[in-house]
Structure 1
Amino acid sequence: MATVRYFAADVDASIDFYTKRLGFVLRQQFGPNMAILDRSDLTLWLAGRHASASRPMPDGTVPEPGGWNRFVIEVENLPALVKVLEGDGVQFRNTMIEGPGGRQVLCMDPSGNVIELFEATQG
């Protein structure tokens, strides 16, 4: 099992996004600043602005959402999922691309964290 921590500008909005759009289940929530969600063998920790993980580093840098690191969710019928997510107003960083291993697209959660949606080539 893998655990990923994402920083969230709004933990409640992120819970809504991950549970309603990407099939995660809320395991535990600690007020407005921390939540633990599960999807298959992935555990996602969402840390809000006042979570202990969001405290400034010794040099003053404050952890924040966004960037290019991401986790990958393998899906079936990526074009259909993209259409549903677009209809729900989900933002994408790119359009779907296809390579030798399959198709992929980068969507963003409400805080700007990237999730790669990937459909493997059949056969």
Structure 2
Amino acid sequence: MKRVTGIGGIFFKAKDAPALRAWYQKHLGIDVQEWGGAAFTWTDDKGEPTCGTTIWSVSSGKDGQVPESQAFTINYRVHDVHALVKALRDEGCQVVGDVDESTGYGKFAWVMDPEGNKVELWEPPEGQ
């Protein structure tokens, strides 16, 4: 079974989200959008777009994307979130809640790593 197939997103929590976004935009050239982040389109070895994106976002932390105890969250793309959640439970991992399929953005699940970090698992919708 395939497990993680890539990074779906990186979500930072900041004390001053607008200032941090501006710093990344000015100094690193990240095309920060009004919603607070950027979408990096995947490309092949020739630089041609392929099917997939990685989201990068900075927020105040009040949106719930980053747990209170963490500075960031990594969202991992997975092939089959239901099968992975079952395997993680069978392996004794602490899965948080049930798979969420309500967003229209795909399927989401969460697991705690041994250090207490909440990790997000994401199965994109078909064709993404």
One fold, TM greater than 0.5? no
Q: TM-score, normalised by structure 2?
A: 0.43
The two structures have a TM-score, normalised by structure 1, of 0.45
